[in-house]
Amino acid sequence: MAAVKNITITLPEWINEVVDWQKTYHNDQEKMALAVELSKQNVLRGTGGPFGSAIFACDSGKLISVGVNRVMPMHNSAAHGEMVAIMFAEQQVQSFSLHADGVKRELFTSCEPCAMCLGGTLWSGVKRLVCAATADDARAIGFDEGPVEASSYQYLTDAGIEVVRLVQRDEANAVLQLYANGGGEIYNG
């Protein structure tokens, strides 16, 4: 077997059918609606797990990137929705930090991040994290979110990242239930 020399992360083909890249998003409800819709479409179209994310410029509401869970189709346990959105956003702004150019950016995610994605949030340079469903909601269907505690969120806050939780929780939890009821694989269970 030859050594792997590069890895490619791709979004599903349907992304451009769902995402209006020219739209300006005016509030948290509109932004979270996109993240939740991405998670729902990922489940309905069978292209990954029940998690979606989007990154916006805080001041303008301009959409920078999106991400959906690609763990199973990409055979990559790091391809969580948040991490995919962060990777695409960093490519879009051509920086390893989403704040290096002085523009404040925010990450909206359909579920509170797992331990890996909380770390990715810290390292990404976003200045705001907005979550929908809770880690307990994800655990209830079998996902292990890792060592995420109240102190984890306090650490982000202390690092200058505003954390907002429970925005459209019911809508996002309905997607988790849709995935579970449809027999969706719990890939780290």
Q: What is the pLDDT of residues 18-68, one digit of tens each?
A: 999 999 999 999 999 999 999 999 999 999 999 999 999 999 999 999 999
Instruction: Please give the DSSP secondary-structure letter assigned to residue 1.
Output: -
- Sheet of 105-111: strand order equals 63-68, 52-57, 105-111, 128-133, 162-164
Compute the average pLDDT of residues 4-13: 92
Please state the rounded mean pLDDT for residues 133-153: 93
Q: What does the DSSP assignment read for 12-64?
A: -TTHHHH--TTPBP-SHHHHHHHHHHHHHHHHHTTSS-S-EEEEEETTT-BEE
Strands of the chain, DSSP E? 52-57, 63-68, 105-111, 128-133, 162-164
- Cβ atoms of 133 and 110 closer than 8 Å: yes
CA atoms within 13 A on the CB side of 145: 20
Catalogue the active-site residues: 82
Neighbours of 70 (CB within 10 A): 24
The answer on pLDDT for 87 being more than 90 is yes
Banded pLDDT at 4 (limits 50, 70, 90): confident
**pLDDT value of residue 187:** 81
For the chain, the structural domain boundaries read 21-181
Q: Which phi and psi angles does 130 have, rounded to 5°?
A: -125, 125
The domain made up of 21-181 has a fold known as: Cytidine Deaminase; domain 2 (3.40.140)
CA distances from 36 to 98, 109, 131, 133, 138 (A): 22, 8, 10, 9, 14
Cα 155 versus chain centre, distance: 19
Here the tokens at position 82 are 């948040």
Inform me whether the pLDDT recorded for 164 exceeds 70.
yes
**For the residues 143-152, what does the mean pLDDT come to?**
90
Q: Is the model's pLDDT at 165 over the cut of 90?
A: yes
Residue 189 pLDDT:
60
Whole-number average pLDDT of the chain: 95
